[in-house]
Structure 1
Protein backbone atom coordinates (compact mmCIF):
# COMPACT_ATOMS: atom_id res chain seq x y z
CA UNK A 1 0.00 0.00 0.00
CA UNK A 2 1.48 3.29 -1.00
CA UNK A 3 0.85 6.49 0.91
CA UNK A 4 -1.80 7.79 -1.46
CA UNK A 5 -3.77 4.56 -1.82
CA UNK A 6 -6.92 6.11 -0.33
CA UNK A 7 -6.93 8.68 -3.14
CA UNK A 8 -7.41 6.04 -5.85
CA UNK A 9 -11.17 5.71 -5.43
CA UNK A 10 -12.23 7.95 -2.57
CA UNK A 11 -13.45 11.50 -2.38
CA UNK A 12 -12.96 14.06 0.36
CA UNK A 13 -15.48 16.72 1.23
CA UNK A 14 -15.89 19.54 3.70
CA UNK A 15 -18.93 21.64 4.50
CA UNK A 16 -18.48 25.41 4.10
CA UNK A 17 -19.80 27.30 7.11
CA UNK A 18 -20.49 30.93 7.84
CA UNK A 19 -19.62 31.74 11.45
CA UNK A 20 -20.79 35.36 11.93
CA UNK A 21 -19.45 35.72 15.49
CA UNK A 22 -16.65 33.24 16.00
CA UNK A 23 -16.79 33.54 19.80
CA UNK A 24 -20.42 32.26 19.84
CA UNK A 25 -19.54 29.17 17.77
CA UNK A 26 -22.85 29.41 15.89
CA UNK A 27 -22.75 28.70 12.19
CA UNK A 28 -24.84 28.17 9.07
CA UNK A 29 -23.80 25.56 6.49
CA UNK A 30 -23.64 27.38 3.14
CA UNK A 31 -21.91 24.98 0.76
CA UNK A 32 -19.72 21.98 0.07
CA UNK A 33 -16.21 21.47 -1.30
CA UNK A 34 -15.86 18.07 -2.99
CA UNK A 35 -12.63 16.53 -4.28
CA UNK A 36 -11.94 13.23 -6.04
CA UNK A 37 -8.37 12.94 -7.27
CA UNK A 38 -9.09 9.80 -9.35
CA UNK A 39 -11.54 11.74 -11.55
CA UNK A 40 -9.63 15.04 -11.21
CA UNK A 41 -12.80 16.56 -9.71
CA UNK A 42 -12.59 19.58 -7.41
CA UNK A 43 -15.70 21.68 -7.06
CA UNK A 44 -17.43 23.89 -4.53
CA UNK A 45 -21.09 24.80 -4.55
CA UNK A 46 -22.42 27.67 -2.44
CA UNK A 47 -26.08 28.01 -1.48
CA UNK A 48 -26.23 30.98 0.87
CA UNK A 49 -29.45 31.19 2.87
CA UNK A 50 -29.27 34.90 3.68
CA UNK A 51 -32.19 34.83 6.13
CA UNK A 52 -30.51 32.15 8.26
CA UNK A 53 -27.20 34.03 8.32
CA UNK A 54 -28.92 37.34 9.15
CA UNK A 55 -30.82 35.64 11.98
CA UNK A 56 -27.42 35.06 13.66
CA UNK A 57 -25.92 38.40 12.65
CA UNK A 58 -28.43 41.04 11.51
CA UNK A 59 -25.68 43.58 10.79
CA UNK A 60 -23.56 41.28 8.60
CA UNK A 61 -22.32 42.73 5.28
CA UNK A 62 -23.86 40.19 2.88
CA UNK A 63 -22.23 41.68 -0.21
CA UNK A 64 -18.75 41.26 1.30
CA UNK A 65 -19.64 37.75 2.49
CA UNK A 66 -20.84 36.78 -1.00
CA UNK A 67 -17.61 38.11 -2.56
CA UNK A 68 -15.51 36.00 -0.17
CA UNK A 69 -17.65 32.90 -0.71
CA UNK A 70 -17.35 33.31 -4.50
CA UNK A 71 -13.57 32.89 -4.28
CA UNK A 72 -14.00 29.26 -3.13
CA UNK A 73 -15.47 27.85 -6.39
CA UNK A 74 -12.96 29.99 -8.33
CA UNK A 75 -10.02 28.44 -6.45
CA UNK A 76 -11.52 24.98 -7.10
CA UNK A 77 -11.63 25.72 -10.84
CA UNK A 78 -8.06 27.04 -10.64
CA UNK A 79 -6.08 28.48 -13.49
CA UNK A 80 -5.23 32.01 -14.53
CA UNK A 81 -7.07 34.78 -12.73
CA UNK A 82 -7.59 32.81 -9.51
CA UNK A 83 -4.46 34.09 -7.78
CA UNK A 84 -1.48 32.10 -6.51
CA UNK A 85 -3.64 29.52 -4.69
CA UNK A 86 -5.57 28.77 -7.89
CA UNK A 87 -2.31 27.78 -9.59
CA UNK A 88 -1.47 25.08 -7.03
CA UNK A 89 -2.12 21.39 -7.83
CA UNK A 90 -5.68 20.16 -7.10
CA UNK A 91 -4.81 18.40 -3.82
CA UNK A 92 -2.97 21.47 -2.50
CA UNK A 93 -5.93 23.73 -3.36
CA UNK A 94 -8.30 21.40 -1.48
CA UNK A 95 -6.02 21.40 1.57
CA UNK A 96 -5.65 25.19 1.47
CA UNK A 97 -9.44 25.65 1.24
CA UNK A 98 -10.09 23.28 4.15
CA UNK A 99 -7.29 24.55 6.43
CA UNK A 100 -8.35 25.57 9.93
CA UNK A 101 -9.02 29.30 10.20
CA UNK A 102 -10.87 31.55 12.59
CA UNK A 103 -12.51 33.85 10.05
CA UNK A 104 -16.21 34.23 9.34
CA UNK A 105 -15.90 31.53 6.63
CA UNK A 106 -14.73 28.13 7.91
CA UNK A 107 -14.99 24.50 6.87
CA UNK A 108 -16.02 21.38 8.74
CA UNK A 109 -13.50 18.62 9.33
CA UNK A 110 -12.78 16.71 6.10
CA UNK A 111 -14.87 13.58 5.54
CA UNK A 112 -14.32 10.76 3.06
CA UNK A 113 -16.46 8.64 0.77
CA UNK A 114 -16.15 6.39 -2.27
CA UNK A 115 -15.89 8.06 -5.71
CA UNK A 116 -18.73 7.52 -8.13
CA UNK A 117 -20.99 10.01 -9.87
CA UNK A 118 -19.46 13.20 -8.48
CA UNK A 119 -22.22 15.65 -9.58
CA UNK A 120 -24.82 13.36 -7.93
CA UNK A 121 -22.62 13.12 -4.82
CA UNK A 122 -22.41 16.94 -4.70
CA UNK A 123 -26.20 17.21 -4.98
CA UNK A 124 -26.67 14.62 -2.22
CA UNK A 125 -24.24 16.41 0.12
CA UNK A 126 -25.92 19.79 -0.47
CA UNK A 127 -29.31 18.24 0.24
CA UNK A 128 -28.10 16.55 3.43
CA UNK A 129 -25.74 19.17 4.83
CA UNK A 130 -26.81 22.60 3.53
CA UNK A 131 -30.45 22.78 2.48
CA UNK A 132 -33.22 22.96 5.07
CA UNK A 133 -36.06 20.46 4.93
CA UNK A 134 -39.01 22.29 3.47
Structure 2
Protein backbone atom coordinates (compact mmCIF):
# COMPACT_ATOMS: atom_id res chain seq x y z
CA UNK A 1 0.00 0.00 0.00
CA UNK A 2 1.26 3.44 -0.96
CA UNK A 3 2.05 5.77 1.94
CA UNK A 4 -0.02 8.95 2.12
CA UNK A 5 1.88 12.19 1.62
CA UNK A 6 1.06 15.66 2.86
CA UNK A 7 0.21 18.15 0.15
CA UNK A 8 -0.90 21.76 0.01
CA UNK A 9 -3.12 23.30 -2.61
CA UNK A 10 -4.82 26.54 -3.55
CA UNK A 11 -7.68 27.24 -5.92
CA UNK A 12 -6.96 29.69 -8.73
CA UNK A 13 -9.73 32.21 -9.18
CA UNK A 14 -10.54 34.79 -11.81
CA UNK A 15 -11.99 37.94 -10.29
CA UNK A 16 -13.25 39.89 -13.34
CA UNK A 17 -14.17 42.99 -11.33
CA UNK A 18 -11.98 43.09 -8.24
CA UNK A 19 -14.16 45.74 -6.64
CA UNK A 20 -17.22 43.41 -6.76
CA UNK A 21 -15.32 40.46 -5.24
CA UNK A 22 -17.14 37.97 -7.50
CA UNK A 23 -14.99 35.15 -8.74
CA UNK A 24 -14.95 31.94 -10.73
CA UNK A 25 -12.70 29.01 -9.82
CA UNK A 26 -10.53 28.17 -12.82
CA UNK A 27 -7.64 26.05 -11.57
CA UNK A 28 -5.62 24.31 -8.88
CA UNK A 29 -2.01 24.61 -7.74
CA UNK A 30 -0.81 21.58 -5.78
CA UNK A 31 2.51 21.19 -3.97
CA UNK A 32 3.93 18.19 -2.13
CA UNK A 33 7.37 18.57 -0.59
CA UNK A 34 7.85 14.85 0.03
CA UNK A 35 6.85 13.91 -3.53
CA UNK A 36 8.85 16.84 -4.98
CA UNK A 37 5.69 17.79 -6.86
CA UNK A 38 4.37 21.16 -8.01
CA UNK A 39 1.74 21.45 -10.71
CA UNK A 40 -0.88 23.86 -11.96
CA UNK A 41 -3.99 22.72 -13.82
CA UNK A 42 -6.71 25.01 -15.10
CA UNK A 43 -9.88 24.99 -17.17
CA UNK A 44 -11.32 28.20 -18.57
CA UNK A 45 -15.02 28.50 -19.31
CA UNK A 46 -15.20 31.70 -21.32
CA UNK A 47 -19.02 31.77 -21.28
CA UNK A 48 -19.14 31.73 -17.48
CA UNK A 49 -16.37 34.35 -17.25
CA UNK A 50 -18.07 36.61 -19.80
CA UNK A 51 -21.28 36.39 -17.76
CA UNK A 52 -19.41 38.11 -14.93
CA UNK A 53 -17.78 40.69 -17.21
CA UNK A 54 -18.53 40.80 -20.96
CA UNK A 55 -15.43 42.91 -21.68
CA UNK A 56 -13.04 40.44 -20.04
CA UNK A 57 -9.97 39.54 -22.13
CA UNK A 58 -9.94 35.72 -21.98
CA UNK A 59 -6.64 35.52 -23.90
CA UNK A 60 -4.96 37.73 -21.29
CA UNK A 61 -6.24 35.52 -18.47
CA UNK A 62 -5.06 32.38 -20.26
CA UNK A 63 -1.64 34.01 -20.71
CA UNK A 64 -1.42 34.59 -16.93
CA UNK A 65 -2.50 31.01 -16.20
CA UNK A 66 0.08 29.65 -18.66
CA UNK A 67 2.70 31.63 -16.72
CA UNK A 68 1.54 29.83 -13.54
CA UNK A 69 2.04 26.52 -15.40
CA UNK A 70 5.55 27.46 -16.55
CA UNK A 71 6.56 28.56 -13.07
CA UNK A 72 5.18 25.34 -11.57
CA UNK A 73 7.17 23.26 -14.06
CA UNK A 74 10.35 25.25 -13.48
CA UNK A 75 10.36 26.06 -17.20
CA UNK A 76 12.77 28.83 -18.26
CA UNK A 77 9.82 30.58 -19.96
CA UNK A 78 8.50 31.25 -16.45
CA UNK A 79 11.26 33.79 -15.81
CA UNK A 80 13.37 34.11 -12.67
CA UNK A 81 10.61 32.79 -10.37
CA UNK A 82 10.71 29.47 -12.25
CA UNK A 83 14.34 29.01 -11.16
CA UNK A 84 13.44 29.06 -7.47
CA UNK A 85 13.05 25.85 -5.44
CA UNK A 86 9.61 24.16 -5.42
CA UNK A 87 8.49 25.53 -2.05
CA UNK A 88 9.44 29.11 -2.98
CA UNK A 89 7.63 28.84 -6.33
CA UNK A 90 4.50 27.54 -4.58
CA UNK A 91 4.60 30.35 -2.02
CA UNK A 92 5.07 32.93 -4.79
CA UNK A 93 2.18 31.50 -6.83
CA UNK A 94 -0.15 31.46 -3.82
CA UNK A 95 0.80 34.88 -2.43
CA UNK A 96 -2.13 37.23 -1.80
CA UNK A 97 -2.91 39.44 -4.79
CA UNK A 98 -5.52 42.06 -5.61
CA UNK A 99 -5.48 41.37 -9.35
CA UNK A 100 -7.87 39.61 -11.70
CA UNK A 101 -6.07 36.24 -11.24
CA UNK A 102 -5.91 35.33 -7.54
CA UNK A 103 -5.60 32.23 -5.38
CA UNK A 104 -7.51 31.01 -2.37
CA UNK A 105 -5.89 30.44 0.98
CA UNK A 106 -3.65 27.38 1.06
CA UNK A 107 -5.29 24.16 2.24
CA UNK A 108 -3.62 20.89 3.35
CA UNK A 109 -4.46 17.30 2.49
CA UNK A 110 -3.06 13.78 2.28
CA UNK A 111 -2.81 11.65 -0.84
CA UNK A 112 -1.05 8.63 -2.25
CA UNK A 113 -0.48 10.24 -5.66
CA UNK A 114 -0.29 14.05 -6.07
CA UNK A 115 -0.94 13.80 -9.82
CA UNK A 116 -4.24 12.07 -9.17
CA UNK A 117 -5.07 14.40 -6.26
CA UNK A 118 -4.77 17.54 -8.40
CA UNK A 119 -7.05 16.07 -11.07
CA UNK A 120 -9.62 15.13 -8.43
CA UNK A 121 -9.50 18.63 -6.90
CA UNK A 122 -9.93 20.18 -10.35
CA UNK A 123 -13.01 18.03 -10.93
CA UNK A 124 -14.48 18.84 -7.51
CA UNK A 125 -13.70 22.55 -7.26
CA UNK A 126 -13.47 23.88 -10.81
CA UNK A 127 -15.31 21.78 -13.38
CA UNK A 128 -19.05 21.56 -13.51
CA UNK A 129 -20.60 18.12 -14.12
CA UNK A 130 -20.37 17.07 -17.78
CA UNK A 131 -18.05 20.04 -18.37
CA UNK A 132 -16.67 19.91 -21.88
CA UNK A 133 -14.24 22.77 -21.26
CA UNK A 134 -10.71 22.18 -22.50
CA UNK A 135 -8.54 21.37 -19.49
CA UNK A 136 -4.98 22.64 -19.79
CA UNK A 137 -1.99 20.94 -18.28
CA UNK A 138 -3.42 17.40 -18.17
CA UNK A 139 -1.36 14.94 -20.18
Q: TM-score, normalised by structure 1?
A: 0.90
Q: How many residues align?
A: 127
Asked whether the 8 Å contact 1:36–1:115 carries over to 2, the reply is no
In structure 1, which of residues 85, 89, 100 is the aligned counterpart of residue 85 of structure 2? 89
In structure 1, which of residues 48, 53, 64 is the aligned counterpart of residue 49 of structure 2? 53
Structure 1: give runs of 5+ residues left out of the alignment.
1-7
In structure 2, which of residues 78, 100, 104 is the aligned counterpart of residue 104 of structure 1? 100
Does residue 64 (structure 1) correspond to residue 60 (structure 2)? The answer is yes
Asked whether the 8 Å contact 1:42–1:90 carries over to 2, the reply is yes
Q: TM-score, normalised by structure 2?
A: 0.87
Does residue 124 (structure 1) correspond to residue 124 (structure 2)? The answer is no
Q: SS in structure 1 opposite 2:76?
A: coil
Asked whether the 8 Å contact 1:28–1:53 carries over to 2, the reply is yes
Does residue 115 (structure 1) correspond to residue 94 (structure 2)? The answer is no
In structure 2, which of residues 5, 8, 12 is the aligned counterpart of residue 12 of structure 1? 8
Cα pair distance change 1:63/1:113, threshold 3 Å: same
1:118 Cα shift?
1.3
CA RMSD, aligned part only?
1.3
Report runs of 4+ in structure 1 exceeding 4 Å deviation. none
Structure 2: give runs of 5+ residues left out of the alignment.
131-139
